[in-house]
Amino acid sequence: MTCDAPTPAGGPAPAVWRSRGTGRRSTRTLRVRVCAALAAATVLAVLLVPPLVQLDQQAVDLAAKLLPPSWEHPFGTDDVGRDLLLRCVYGLRVSLLVGVAAALTATVVGTAVGAAAGALGGWADRAIMRVVDTVSSVPHLLLGIFIVAMFRPGVWPVVVSVALTHWLSTARIVRAEVMSLRARPYIDAAVSGGASRWRVTVRHLLPGVLPQAGLAAVLMVPHAMWHESALSFLGLGLPAHTASLGTLIQTARGSLLAGQWWPTLFPGLFIIVPTLAIAGLAGAWRERINPRRRSELML
């Protein structure tokens, strides 16, 4: 806590902690609003632009190839004359779909495994967590490449690949939470009241871990988008004709060396901006569900 400068004579002395707390809160509120606006713009763009605009993102116009940004093409055109703004929105659509689907799948798997380990305890817990440790010991991008290479390129192999390599952290978080909740007397009361192991888990333990699992899912969406982009960039994710942010950057890297910056910059921004927006919202959520942070917010 720092001391403020002396206040003008006659004015009420402000409470130092309150003024500072209010300032931090307003900065936080502004940050949350900006993040929410960016996230909303992203979601609206991917949902509304394709059905409303009725333009063909695959329309090739070799006469207009590699045009820099202009009023007609705000993001410029790529090496075969396709409008990059439209391609970026379609690419974001695919990347967001992969991100959300992979994050949801990973969270469901991770929550189920973590809850089973935490609720069962004993040898079952030890066995499950050794499996988790074993899978964690393999670099997850490598494992993801291995999984995706077994299938024909497409959206769902990428979703499966990202989900199967990202449920581990959720499983660990959920297990720790379940073990902490299991020690509470209300679980003893439920056992004494005749509740089965399943009922204790579903009725008392899982609702207690849902905020943490939800937060893990939200934080995983941008991470999964990055993985999709990385796999597509390596040529292992989506087929080249499907616009995703990874394939856009991958096909544009040749023109970057020739000085055309726009085919890589804008898809890159389309990865970074939703990532920051989602991470900002998740950070605000974490502050709300963490009691220690919440007590600071109440200042």
Partner 1 sequence: MLELRAITAGYVKNAPVVRNVSLTIAPGEAVGLLGPSGCGKSTLARVAALLHRPDSGTLVLDGRPVRRWRHRAPRELRTAFGVVFQQPRLSADPRLALRDLVAEPLRATGRREGLAERVAELASAVGLTPDLLGRRPHEVSDGQLQRACLARALVLRPRWLVCDEMTAMLDASTTAALVAVVEEYRAATGAGLLAVGHDRTLLDRWCDRTVHWETLPARARPAEDGQPAPERVPAG
CB of 200 to partner 1, least distance (A): 8
Q: Which tokens in the block code for residue 271?
A: 């990865």
DSSP helix/strand/coil, 74? coil
Of the two residues 116 and 265, which places its CB atom closer to partner 1 in the complex?
116
Task: Pick between residue 10 and residue 194 the one whose CB is nearest to partner 1.
Answer: 194
| C-beta of 35 vs 213, nearer to partner 1 | 213
For residue 260, count CB atoms less than 10 angstroms from its CB and return exposed for 0-12, middle for 13-18, buried for 19 or more.
Answer: buried
Min dist CB 206 to partner 1, Å, is 11
Site residues (CB under 8 A) for partner 1? Answer: 121-122, 179, 182-197, 199-200, 203-204, 207-208
Q: What's the closest the beta carbon of residue 288 comes to partner 1, in angstroms?
A: 16
Is the separation of the CB atoms in 269 and 263 below 8 Å?
A: no
Is residue 241 exposed (0-12), middle (13-18) or buried (19+ Cβ within 10 Å)? Answer: exposed
What lies within 8 Å, CB to CB, of 12 at 6+ separation is none
Minimum Å distance from CB 155 to partner 1? Answer: 37
Minimum CB distance to partner 1 smaller for 35 or for 187: 187
Provide, rounded to whole angstroms, the least separation between the CB of residue 10 and partner 1: 43
Residue 45 near residue 89, CB atoms below 8 Å: yes
Going along 140-288, which residue ranges are E strands? none
Which pair of tokens denotes residue 189?
A: 């009361």
Query: By C-beta, is 72 or 188 nearer to partner 1?
Result: 188
